[in-house]
């Protein structure tokens, strides 16, 4: 039996997104379109149908001629009503995602900080097509993840959703994470912590880009090494792992130290790529420093701005006030600083004040060695 849910929009023409976000099989997720009506009635109707996921547009008040002025409210208003009900009846909790036009997202949603915590994920309508397999895979994974969270919710062992053996449990059994999950009043709060601090952040898990940097290879070469990582049991298979490919950092580090016979980042990218190529009979391309284009740098992490593998000595610390103790601080490569690629507005990346003195120096640097 598959998952079912709703797509809510005030625009009848946009009801196609219900189908675009549904998987194409009965085992997956099927969304049905729900037009807008008075907020409290709609929230009750949705909640009592016990959906597995709800997707909604942020502006539910734009086609008032089609609806009725009395129905005017934003998607965040409806999401808040649904979250309030789930807090009382956590056994019926479900993921809520935002589906919005990109321009409206930046104009209305991004400045509205109170709305951000209501949604598990946000998608731009412009990017959701009939072929949006990635969005569909992520939504399905949200359904599965919530199901897993609800199944263990009252067990007293919420850390079990990460799927680690007793021997490895210490990796997630850290006070900051354990207490946050124990204190979560409903699965959607636990989901937010896991998505924000585990899935989206380097620390306990590594993204493909982070793995490429630690292996000293170009990120576009990652598919060459994934069979090797999989054979060594490094893939993360815990909650939300099917939607977002991640690797266990502790398993990767243990394996890599054995593989390279030393800490991998003590070798240059070229040296690491050569070892992998020789051992695996492959031709993997070494990562190049974004600053000087050289493979003779000891690249160690992926730049928080451009994602390219970068070395410590040609990067600065990003302002990262909410980094948990088990997370890795973000860094930004000198190339992004010099090219002013960090963006504008409240969501822009910033340099931490501990490195602020170096910013002008980097910006004005003429030579790249
Ligand atoms: Zn960069």
pLDDT digits (tens, 9 = 90+) for 101-140: 888 777 777 777 777 789 999 999 988 888 888 999 999 9
Q: Residue 149 in 3-state DSSP?
A: helix
Which region, left, alpha or beta, applies to residue 311 given φ > 0 means left and ψ of -120 to 50 means alpha?
beta
- Predicted pLDDT at 252: 98
Cβ contact 95:53 at 8 Å? yes
CA of 258 to the centre of ligand 1 (A): 29
Q: What is the per-residue DSSP string for 124-141?
A: EGGG--TT-HHHHHHHHH
For the chain, list the domains and their CATH numbers.
3-145 (3.40.50.2300), 154-199 (no CATH), 205-364 (no CATH)
Q: Is 187 helix (H, G, I), strand (E, B) or coil?
A: helix
pLDDT band at 71 (very low <50, low <70, confident <90, very high): low
Instruction: Give the 3-state secondary structure of residue 165.
Output: coil
The predicted model scores a pTM of 0.93
Q: How far is the CA of 198 from the centre of ligand 1 (A)?
A: 22
C-alpha distance from residue 35 to each of 29, 78, 290, 321 (Å): 19, 13, 48, 40
Quote the mean pLDDT of the chain.
Answer: 92
Radius of gyration of the chain (CA): 23
* C-alpha 74 to ligand 1 mean position (Å): 36
How remote is the CA of residue 142 from the centroid of ligand 1, in Å? 30
Residues, beta carbon < 5 Å, ion ligand 1? 303, 305-306, 333, 336
Q: How far is the CA of 323 from the centre of ligand 1 (A)?
A: 19
CB 62 within 8 A of CB 101: no
Q: pLDDT tens, 265-282?
A: 999 999 999 999 999 999
Question: Ligand 1 center to residue 212 CA distance, Å?
Answer: 15
- pLDDT tens profile 152-176: 999 889 999 999 999 999 999 999 9
- The DSSP string of 251-305 is HHHHHHHHHHTS-GGGS-HHHHHHHHHHHHT--PPBP--TTT--SSS-EEEE-TT
- On whether the CB atoms of residues 368 and 292 are closer than 8 A, the answer is yes
- pLDDT of 61 reads 67
């Amino acid at each position: 039996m598959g998952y079912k849910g709703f797509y809510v929009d005030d625009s009848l023409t946009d009801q196609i997104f219900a189908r675009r976000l549904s998987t194409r099989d009965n085992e997956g997720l099927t969304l049905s379109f729900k037009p807008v009506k008075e907020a409290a009635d709609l929230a009750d109707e949705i909640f009592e149908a016990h959906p597995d996921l709800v997707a909604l547009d942020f502006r539910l008040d734009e086609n008032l001629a089609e609806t009725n002025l009395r129905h005017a409210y934003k998607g965040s208003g409806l999401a808040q009503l649904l979250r309030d009900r789930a807090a009382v009846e956590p056994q019926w909790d479900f993921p809520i995602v935002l589906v919005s036009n990109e321009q409206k997202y930046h104009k209305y949603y991004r400045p509205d900080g109170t709305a951000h915590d209501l949604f598990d994920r946000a998608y731009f309508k412009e990017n959701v097509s009939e072929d949006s397999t990635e969005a569909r895979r992520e939504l399905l994974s949200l359904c599965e993840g919530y199901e897993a969270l609800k199944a263990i919710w009252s067990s007293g062992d919420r850390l079990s959703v990460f799927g680690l053996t007793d021997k490895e449990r210490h990796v997630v059994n850290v006070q900051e994470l354990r207490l946050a999950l124990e204190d979560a009043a409903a699965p959607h709060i636990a989901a937010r912590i896991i998505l924000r601090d585990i899935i989206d952040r380097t620390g306990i898990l590594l993204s493909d880009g982070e793995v490429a940097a630690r292996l000293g290879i170009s990120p576009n070469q990652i598919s060459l090494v994934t069979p090797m990582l999989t054979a060594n049991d490094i893939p993360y298979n815990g909650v939300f792992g099917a939607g977002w490919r991640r690797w266990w950092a502790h398993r990767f580090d243990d394996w890599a130290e054995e593989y390279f016979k030393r800490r991998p980042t003590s070798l240059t990218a070229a040296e690491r790529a050569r070892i992998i190529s020789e051992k695996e009979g492959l031709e993997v391309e070494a990562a190049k420093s974004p600053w000087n284009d050289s493979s003779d740098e000891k690249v160690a992490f992926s730049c928080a701005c451009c994602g390219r593998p970068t070395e410590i000595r040609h990067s600065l610390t990003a302002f990262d006030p909410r980094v948990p103790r088990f997370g890795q601080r973000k860094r930004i490569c000198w190339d992004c600083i010099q090219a002013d690629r960090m963006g504008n507005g409240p969501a822009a990346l910033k340099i931490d004040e501990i490195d602020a003195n170096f910013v002008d120096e980097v910006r004005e640097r003429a030579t790249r060695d």
